[in-house]
């Protein structure tokens, strides 16, 4: 495909997202199914362009004076990808391109409107209703945080100590450009790709098939590390999902003790079995909801219950930029109800003196601090304990919670709190 066809394809994808409310992955898949002629580089180009347009939809629309899919795509090319006005014009005017530039478009490509004059939600690329929520959670520098959240994300890897060591694993992932990510010795990072580029194929590395490493955002790895020393313990991953944190916890346990993986949706657990086998996990039990009472017998017996709660996912908007435009106040309210319920349910399995770790990939205090406070108020036998894990001090709030953000930590947005159940009085 020539550039003009690629531009037209990205505009088509964005239009389908806007008019038919499809998630971006579905819209890209539908386009790909109808464009068999498109090669891998074409697909990477169209995908990258569409995702970048979604990341900065409002700010680019402001700069261009046109927030339509066409206006935003042209804005990405000129102001993010740094194409010259002549190159944009040439591509747009090609036979299969989106059409020749108008005089107004040429003017905005050369002299965009200043974001200094834009309202904060426009400059920061988020919905107006989120302004007070983000200001409350992120403080005075929430503008910088939202700018970081509109950038492309790196690919983070976790060396699996059940199969190899950091030195050998690090050499293996260096073949695909990964370098130490900091904070955790086992964390490595492949920088975010440039415009229209693809990240290296992680699964093509032989060490991946051997289980030497997993793809896992650094923030997710750090959140799992809040569990601290857990070798020989009885651990429940209450909302295991695809198993990323389950495997990180299992690696920290060194195949000692027992880790149980549970999720309310049995389909999410299917991948955990395969991933656990590849990773060499031998102390894992899958407790699927199709079993009827999958957690029966574990009440009050576990040293640690890890709750990666359902949330808005606002901390992952670098990777899922279309999600921020779908989020509504009603959805935020619904998530809070779900979070209260899952915390209450999970707490039944914590033994006296045991710990409950509450984690979200959300930036919003309504899903984080507020939910912890509400839980403790309703469950007087539990109390918040400041996280005390070496190496994480720089990422802790004054209350001892973990708070990770793209600007401050270079990770997805994550929150974690440790809640301890009191011992019974003899």
**Which residue positions form the known binding site for S-adenosyl-L-methionine?**
263, 308
Q: For residues 212 and 172, give the distance between their C-alpha atoms in angstroms, rounded to a whole number.
A: 9
List the catalytic residue out of 73, 137, 147, 361: 361
Provide the residue count of the chain. Answer: 426
Task: Convert 381-400 to b/e letters by CB count within 10 Å (16 or more is b).
Answer: ebebeebebeebeebbeeee
Spell out the residues 6+ positions from residue 285 whose beta carbon is closer than 8 angstroms to its own: 258, 259, 260, 261
The token pair at 376 is: 């403790």
| Burial label, 337 (beta-carbon count in 10 A; 0-12, 13-18, 19+) | exposed
Closest CA to 312 of 370, 268, 368: 368
CB 157 within 8 A of CB 200: no
- CA–CA gap between residue 156 and residue 145 (Å, rounded): 20
Distance between CA atoms of 322 and 319, rounded to whole angstroms? 9
DSSP 77: I
Which of 248, 258, 247, 252 is closest to 230 using CA atoms? 252
| Half-sphere exposure (Cβ direction) of 104: Cα atoms closer than 13 Å | 7
311 has catalytic annotation = no
Cite the active site residues. Answer: 361
């Amino acid at each position: 495909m020539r550039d003009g066809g690629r531009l037209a394809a990205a505009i088509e994808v964005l239009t389908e997202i806007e008019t038919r409310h499809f998630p971006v992955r579905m819209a890209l898949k539908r386009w790909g199914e109808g464009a068999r002629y498109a090669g891998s580089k074409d697909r990477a180009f169209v995908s990258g362009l569409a995702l970048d347009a979604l990341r900065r939809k409002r700010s680019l629309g402001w700069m261009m004076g046109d927030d339509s899919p066409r206006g935003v795509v042209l804005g990405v090319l000129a102001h993010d990808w740094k194409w010259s006005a002549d190159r944009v014009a040439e591509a747009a005017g090609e036979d299969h391109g989106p059409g020749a530039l108008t005089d107004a478009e040429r003017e905005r490509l050369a002299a965009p409107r200043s974001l200094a004059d834009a309202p904060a939600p426009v400059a920061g690329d988020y919905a107006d209703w989120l302004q007070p929520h983000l200001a409350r959670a992120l403080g005075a520098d929430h503008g910088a945080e939202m700018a970081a959240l509109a950038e492309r994300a790196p690919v983070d890897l976790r060396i699996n100590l059940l199969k190899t060591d950091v030195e050998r694993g690090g050499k293996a992932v260096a073949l695909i450009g990964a370098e130490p990510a900091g904070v955790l010795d086992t964390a490595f990072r492949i920088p975010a790709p440039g415009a229209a580029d693809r990240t290296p194929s992680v699964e093509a590395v032989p060490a991946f098939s051997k289980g030497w490493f997993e793809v896992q955002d650094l923030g997710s790895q750090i959140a799992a590390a809040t569990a601290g020393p857990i070798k020989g313990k009885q651990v429940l991953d209450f909302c295991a999902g695809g198993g990323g944190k389950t495997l990180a916890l299992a690696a920290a346990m060194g195949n000692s003790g027992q880790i149980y993986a549970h999720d309310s949706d049995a389909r999410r657990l299917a991948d955990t079995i395969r991933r656990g086998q590849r990773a060499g996990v031998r102390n894992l039990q899958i407790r699927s909801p199709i079993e009827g009472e999958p957690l029966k017998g574990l009440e009050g017996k576990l040293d640690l219950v890890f709750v990666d709660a359902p949330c808005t996912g606002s901390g992952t908007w670098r990777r899922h930029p279309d999600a921020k435009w779908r989020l509504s106040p009603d959805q935020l309210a619904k998530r809070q109800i779900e979070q209260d319920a899952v915390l209450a349910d999970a707490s039944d399995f914590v033994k006296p003196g045991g710990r409950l770790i509450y984690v979200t990939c959300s930036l919003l205090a309504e899903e984080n601090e507020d939910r912890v406070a509400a839980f403790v108020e309703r469950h007087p036998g539990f109390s918040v304990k400041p996280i005390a894990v070496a190496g994480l001090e720089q990422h802790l709030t004054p209350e001892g919670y973990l708070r990770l953000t793209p600007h401050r930590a270079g990770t997805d947005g994550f929150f974690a709190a440790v809640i301890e159940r009191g011992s019974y009085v003899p």
